[in-house]
Amino acid sequence: MRFTLGEKIELKRGLKDVYIDRSKVSFIDGKQGMLIYQGYNIHDLAEKSTFEETIYLLLYGKLPTQEELNKFETELRSNREIPHSVIEIINMIKEAHPMDVLRTAISALSAHDPEVKDNSIEATLRKGIRLTAQAPTIVAAHARILEGKAPIAGDPELNQAANFLYTLFGVKPDPEDAKVMDMDFILHAEHGINASAFAARVAASTDADLHSAIVAGIATLKGPKHGGAAESVTKMAMEIGEEDKASEYVTKTLKDGGRIMGFGHRVYKTIDPRSIHLRDQAKLVAERKGQPKWFQILSKVAEVMKPYEAKGVCVNVDFWTGVVYQLLDIPEKFYISIFSMGRIPGWTVQVMEQFDNNMLLRPMLEYTGSIDLEYVPIGLRK
């Protein structure tokens, strides 16, 4: 016998267009290509703000005064260090994917956080600040260990973006490079209830703590359909190899039923507003460094893909991110980790919002199997 419910079940596969809650954190208008963090347009934030100010905005819901920002930056900078045992753990699993290492190290940091069990909004905010400060230390330490170099201590004179590049490469970064990194962090800080933020909210809905929720977010962001696209775009650019082969590559790939990476989005049906800034930065950095090749290849790809805009298949945030990272000499395999560490403020504020008006996230599955198979003793089974 199969089970049948009295009424027809409406399946919401992928939870497409299902609204699960209200939020004041961010807004995406997929038709107009608009992204808002806590009331502010992403264009203003990308052009006028800093990552530190944007984190403050996300976590506190308002832009800081100079005094508030100073205090906040001090708090962030004083929390960058990670325990030596976590460095040891990174070293022990260094050959794993950087996202596996980041996930494990963040998970291990729960053993050292004095407020791990405290799920109050205030403690969750403080833990979010600590994790935001600690995550780049993990990523930079891992990258250096992989190159056989010792991790280096941060420089409290440097902001989050500059300090990340410094601890990654061991030299004080060009201020223009640091500014590009800073803008990249701003653009990646929050993006509504995409799969990783959703996973963090599902964890938080059981009253699991922030470390658990962020670990669930990182685990989810790892998927190639989510955080992995920037790396794939870079690989595609390398595969194309030179500008005048881009057109043929795109045409052939699409003809063969393949996909061009860095295009299309569940919500945006027009150009992703973040991609505009990343494209501009990619162009500037390529010119400044005298390495126009990758930018030119991707520009050609974008040009050939232009007709698909009418169908809602547009450049997304990942399309230009990869070439920016490549021009900053960041190893490909760390692209998703950088995305993750920039997203921690967004995950944190969404967990705070979830805690504030919590309800267990527990959907249903329509069962299509049998319900009355007879348990046959093992000797009689065929």
- Active site (catalytic) residues: 265, 318
Pick out residues in 212-231 that bind its own copies (CB under 8 A).
Answer: 212-213, 215-216, 219-228
- Options 132-140, 162-170, 326-334, 359-367: segment touching its own copies (CB under 8 A): 359-367
Taking alpha carbons only, the member of 140, 170, 178, 123 closest to residue 331 is: 140
- If one asks whether residue 31 binds its own copies (CB under 8 A), the answer comes out as no
Among 60, 64, 152, 284, binds its own copies (CB under 8 A): 64
| Burial environment of residue 66 by CB neighbours within 10 A (0 to 12, 13 to 18, 19 or more) | exposed
Pick out residues in 134-153 that bind its own copies (CB under 8 A).
Answer: none
Among 4, 9, 238, 242, binds its own copies (CB under 8 A): 9
Ramachandran sector of residue 127 (left: φ over 0; alpha: ψ -120 to 50; beta: rest): alpha
Cα–Cα dist 165/173, whole Å: 6
Question: Which residue's CB is nearer to its own copies, number 255 or number 362?
Answer: 362
Taking alpha carbons only, the member of 230, 214, 221 closest to residue 344 is: 214
Give the 3-state secondary structure of residue 213: helix
- If one asks whether residue 343 binds its own copies (CB under 8 A), the answer comes out as no
Q: How many residues in total does the chain contain?
A: 382
- If one asks whether residue 96 binds its own copies (CB under 8 A), the answer comes out as yes
- If one asks whether residue 7 binds its own copies (CB under 8 A), the answer comes out as no
Among 6, 13, 307, 310, binds its own copies (CB under 8 A): 13
Taking alpha carbons only, the member of 91, 88, 131 closest to residue 113 is: 131
- Options 153-161, 162-170, 312-320, 358-366: segment touching its own copies (CB under 8 A): 358-366
Cα–Cα dist 220/145, whole Å: 25
- If one asks whether residue 322 binds its own copies (CB under 8 A), the answer comes out as no
Taking alpha carbons only, the member of 154, 17, 194, 9 closest to residue 73 is: 154
Among 7, 95, 256, 356, binds its own copies (CB under 8 A): 95
CB of residue 176 to its own copies, shortest distance in Å: 22
Cα–Cα dist 334/326, whole Å: 11
Among 104, 160, 234, 340, binds its own copies (CB under 8 A): 104
